[in-house]
Amino acid sequence: DQQVKQNSPSLSVQEGRISILNCDYTNSMFDYFLWYKKYPAEGPTFLISISSIKDKNEDGRFTVFLNKSAKHLSLHIVPSQPGDSAVYFCAAKEGGIQGAQKLVFGQGTRLTINP
């Protein structure tokens, strides 16, 4: 039972354009969502998060949008840069930001930024 799904295993975007990575979830108890970025041979690093009380959170070139009714979130990167090439994981949890509980991850999307 895949509670968090990233249906695009890969995405290729031209440098300078917008990258949009999508994520869907099924568990209505999830109330905190995170995006992680992973380079080869390294552990995932936290990128940006959003609480279910919001529908948008922005941090520099990165913006996460949450549509609770559709149980869908997306990560927008604009403008895309070659260093953004990595695998991006969507993750969800219950208990809000402070809830020290397990993260449920999607399968990841490999983003490639072409010069």
Partner 1 sequence: GAGVSQSPSNKVTEKGKDVELRCDPISGHTALYWYRQSLGQGLEFLIYFQGNSAPDKSGLPSDRFSAERTGGSVSTLTIQRTQQEDSAVYLCASSLHGEQFFGPGTRLTVL
Three-class HEC string of 8-67: CCEEEEECCCCEEEEEEECCCCCCEEEEEEECCCCCCEEEEEEECCCCEEEECCEEEEEE
For partner 1, the closer of residues 18 and 29 by Cβ is: 29
Closer CB to partner 1, 20 or 104, in the complex:
104
| Positions in the binding site for partner 1 (CB under 8 A) | 4, 6, 9, 34, 36, 41-46, 49, 89, 91, 97-108
What count of other Cβ atoms lies within 10 Å of the Cβ of residue 48? 18
- Residue 13: CB atoms within 10 A of its CB come to 20
CB of 11 to partner 1, least distance (A): 16
Nearer to partner 1 by Cβ, of 14 and 51: the residue is 51
Q: Which is nearer to partner 1, 17 or 102 (CB)?
A: 102
Dihedral, 11, 15, 17, 18 alpha carbons, nearest 10:
50
For the bound state, the minimum distance from the C-beta of residue 7 to partner 1, rounded and expressed in Å, comes to: 12
**Shortest CB 33 distance to partner 1, Å:** 12
